[in-house]
Structure 1
């Protein structure tokens, strides 16, 4: 039985306080609290001494997070891990430590506080706050860029396997992961389809963190340096754009899609892996992500009709949308 929603006034108050929870989660992740609790619960005084922190402040932070099932306080006043807190540890399978640090880094946090400006002007305040557009800023700040790319890899690791297994790559010989980052999705696609060969395509500084070799797939996957705004490697059967188009406005997206359309073999496919926002008032992860994009980047999440229009402008035709066990869908396009 689902719990009843809070009264309208309480709902607004709870939503208004949401940023405090995000800040608390970011703080315990930055401090490394979860790693210190791996061997068992500890009193805040003991934990604070290990962390070089203020015990009373740490207690207050943990008390709040325990109220939402991140950490738990026992009868002796010690705090321990919950299943959610366990995922904040740095060296566990499925760790979300890097993802939390990415989602709460200042490149998203600060523009989100200026959404009224975004709505008034239709433009992100990012350039005003940071002095340059999102990806230009990351290119000039190695620490922020590392947080972003590591966080994206961490977040993607949750979804890459289920998404790769949702699409049948067996009819194809060669797939290019356009802007494929460290290769997490391509690794899962190659593992799922032993006959498939891959190309991981991205900027050199991104490919320096590639995981292809450590996955033992160097013999089936090459790495190509380039800029997908200009061109993409030619002659593949499938071009994957995972979490790429949502970063950009329509005109830029059409350019990227045209590059893929020009490069693909006859009978090829373009797979856009992004959220597809459904109609109606129901909750959907894409709706939250869409406003996050609106605050920091020129892009957005799109509906089925939005994708249909983009494809048509790029000489492509939407052939089908494949749901996955994640919030993302696979939107497949073929030559028009």
Structure 2
């Protein structure tokens, strides 16, 4: 079914075959998850191994592992050279733990029940417009993660690995030279702020997030040698945000919330910003037209899991900013799917 040879590629398939591949794509995702969970790519880092050797190293059934890897090799994830021996491909290499562009953490997250089960209720969400995560698990997704430490760890690792390369593009591809005090609102463990501060030695930073998040962030900021340039403050961005910045940065925050909540967060930023300050919102801006864009898929996951969250178009951000007292001045695309929306107070 998944033929990856020079004579027949995805675009050469008949419509029925193409659609069938799309229909069974979740099977491939689950197979990738298992390989990621077992750490197969790490075991193949130094060269090919037999499925028997890999099974012994991972403590699984050898015949079943062979069948899994054979399937993944048929879609370009791993390759079977000599019979029964597997090696890395460029796709499989991205499942290695120690790569800067590793997606192993994201693949492991995709195999968790709290990540995949809501997709089974997509029809219900489309009918009602309501997220289903709370209906399934009894609490909102962030409350679930707070009370399930292992799930929270998997989620954080996935977001960190998924964001690592994108963080680098933000720090490198936006001009921060006019900023002297940068406040990141909802900045998590501080990876993005740390990257910006290291690339811009004259900037002072403030990392603001919930108390338990800030405690975790302290270790990262200290390990980067930035405690003397980065103040860590805890609080609730629905109540207030710290003052004193001439730029306020929010990455992947606004898309989690409906318009009312998003406007409240933005208004709290606006209330402490001087007139010459900048607002920097880092999100995936949905383009017009039919071209593929990861944000369009992510939008469905947001629809399933978050109360009113969504990925937005440029026009929708303009409306949001206006309601919160801002004017969108420009959008800076990056080499990742993320863009930086720059706005100023009005």
8 Å contact from structure 2 (residues 100, 161) kept in 1: no
8 Å contact from structure 1 (residues 103, 151) kept in 2: no
Query: 1:88 offset after TM fit, Å?
Result: 1.7
Query: 1:37 offset after TM fit, Å?
Result: 1.8
Aligned mates of 1:83, 1:116 — CA distance in 2: 35
Matched, 1:184 2:191: yes
Secondary structure of the residue aligned to 2:343 is: strand
Map 1:251-270 onto structure 2 (within 5 A): 251-270=260-279
Secondary structure of the residue aligned to 2:49 is: coil
Matched, 1:70 2:80: no
Encode CA deviations 1:223-269: one digit per residue, 9 max, x unaligned: 11111111111120111110111111111100000011112222111
Matched, 1:277 2:286: yes
Query: 1:99 offset after TM fit, Å?
Result: 2.4
Aligned mates of 1:56, 1:89 — CA distance in 2: 23
8 Å contact from structure 2 (residues 49, 85) kept in 1: yes
Give the corresponding residue for 2:322.
312
Give the corresponding residue for 1:244.
253
Query: 1:5 offset after TM fit, Å?
Result: 4.7
Map 1:97-246 onto structure 2 (within 5 A): 97-210=104-217, 211-246=220-255
Structure 1 alignment gaps of length 5 or more: none
Encode CA deviations 1:108-130: one digit per residue, 9 max, x unaligned: 21111210000011001111111
Secondary structure of the residue aligned to 2:115 is: helix
Give the corresponding residue for 2:338.
328
8 Å contact from structure 2 (residues 328, 343) kept in 1: yes
- Report how many residues are paired: 336
Structure 1, 229-238 or 2-11: larger mean CA deviation? 2-11
Aligned mates of 1:178, 1:304 — CA distance in 2: 21
Structure 2 alignment gaps of length 5 or more: 1-5
Secondary structure of the residue aligned to 2:342 is: strand
Query: 1:222 offset after TM fit, Å?
Result: 1.3
Task: Give the TM-score taking structure 1 as reference length.
Answer: 0.96
Task: Give the TM-score taking structure 2 as reference length.
Answer: 0.93
* Change in 2 beyond 3 A, CA 1:56/1:29: same
Aligned mates of 2:10, 2:143 — CA distance in 1: 45
Aligned mates of 1:215, 1:208 — CA distance in 2: 15
8 Å contact from structure 2 (residues 100, 165) kept in 1: no
Aligned mates of 1:189, 1:241 — CA distance in 2: 13
